[in-house]
Structure 1
């Protein structure tokens, strides 16, 4: 992989990822734990319960079927008051990126 400069402003470190290890750890700590971000044991339990029934069904973002072995996520509403269902992890991340830039 090609080396590139860390994405953090002013950091000269070369890395094969977006950020150097120091800034990756700093960013992760600033985000908080998965529980602090709303993905605690209740979220993980519900995802585990809903996952088997979602296999073979279409993702509500892209319409493609969700298959065993794919990275899937439990999508929550924008206000995090409920859930919209299981979706492809990449579709879920892209949706969050679109919403954060609107």
Structure 2
């Protein structure tokens, strides 16, 4: 099966503004982080953190989290961010699709 192209980061909505915001958090982490006793730690901003602790330690993978409206929340563990994105994407894909029948909008009985 051929690999599906997801587009560039800009095409997926992660353009220059997103990169600047992520770079800002990288600087915060490099300059000491948000944890008063652990240098370089950032707090996971995910709505539901899946990790044992909300702290993102230096060297740990993280994404810049955002809500559905593309408002940045801040750093999130990679696992927390991608899990939430999968849940949201699956919910959208599970919604019935509109069907036009003789000029009227309806929903396919199968929900497809």
TM-score (norm 2): 0.59
Q: 2:16 aligns to what? A: 41
Q: 1:84 aligns to what? A: 73
Instruction: State the Cα deviation string for residues 16-60 of structure 1 (Å, max 9, x = none).
Output: xxxxxxx11xx12xx221111111122111101123145424323
Name whichever structure is richer in strand by fraction: 2
Distance apart, 1:89 and its partner CA: 1.2
- Aligned runs of 1:60-71 on 2, under 5 Å? 60=45, 61-62=48-49, 63-71=53-61
The answer (yes or no) to whether the contact 2:41–2:55 under 8 Å persists in 1 is: yes
Q: 1:56 aligns to what? A: 41
Query: Which range moved further: 57-66 or 91-100?
Result: 57-66
Tell me the number of residue pairs that the alignment of Structure 1 and Structure 2 aligns.
76
Is 1:101 paired with 2:86? no
The answer (yes or no) to whether the contact 2:43–2:75 under 8 Å persists in 1 is: no
Name whichever structure is richer in helix by fraction: 1
Instruction: Provide structure 2 residue ranges, at least 5 long, that are not aligned to the other structure.
Output: 35-39, 92-112
